[in-house]
Amino acid sequence: MSTPNRLIAKLINAPSFPMVKHYKGYPPKLSEGRDEREPLETPSHLVIEFKPDGVFLVRLTDHGKIVGDTWHATVEEAKEQATFEFGESLGEWNAA
């Protein structure tokens, strides 16, 4: 059996205020002190993608819109980040 290129987990009752908030735009330190960022939507699914340059934890809405991603050195680190952000709301990981 081959190793999957992706894992996916559904968020069950995702928190309205997750531990980590993702934004569109530059942080104040990079925009002369102005905070013009826009918060991204709360995801409904998480995907772990295996790429040549690392492992990516991607957050998606029900409609497949990307609402944040982070790079990780290993699958375990990506899963730990997902657990930190969503805790008990995180469903089981399945091959996609």
Tell me the pLDDT tens digit for each residue of 25-77. 998 999 899 999 998 888 999 999 999 999 999 999 999 999 999 999 999 99
Structure tokens at 66: 């990307």
Choose among 23, 19, 21, 69: nearest CA to 48. 69
What is the pLDDT, as a whole number, of residue 3? 63
What is the pLDDT, as a whole number, of residue 58? 97
| Pair 42, 23: CB distance under 8 Å | no
Torsion of CA 84, 87, 93, 96, to 10 degrees: -70
> pTM for this structure?
0.84
Kindly indicate the confidence band of residue 2, based on its pLDDT and cuts at 50, 70 and 90. Answer: low
Give the separation between CA 60 and CA 33, rounded to whole angstroms: 29
Give the separation between CA 35 and CA 83, rounded to whole angstroms: 28
Domain coordinates in residue numbering, the chain: 6-95
Could you write out the DSSP letters of every residue in 19-59?
A: SS--EES--GGGTTT----EEPPPPSEEEEEEETTEEEEEE
What is the pLDDT, as a whole number, of residue 48? 98
Task: Tell me which of 43 and 13 has the higher pLDDT.
Answer: 43
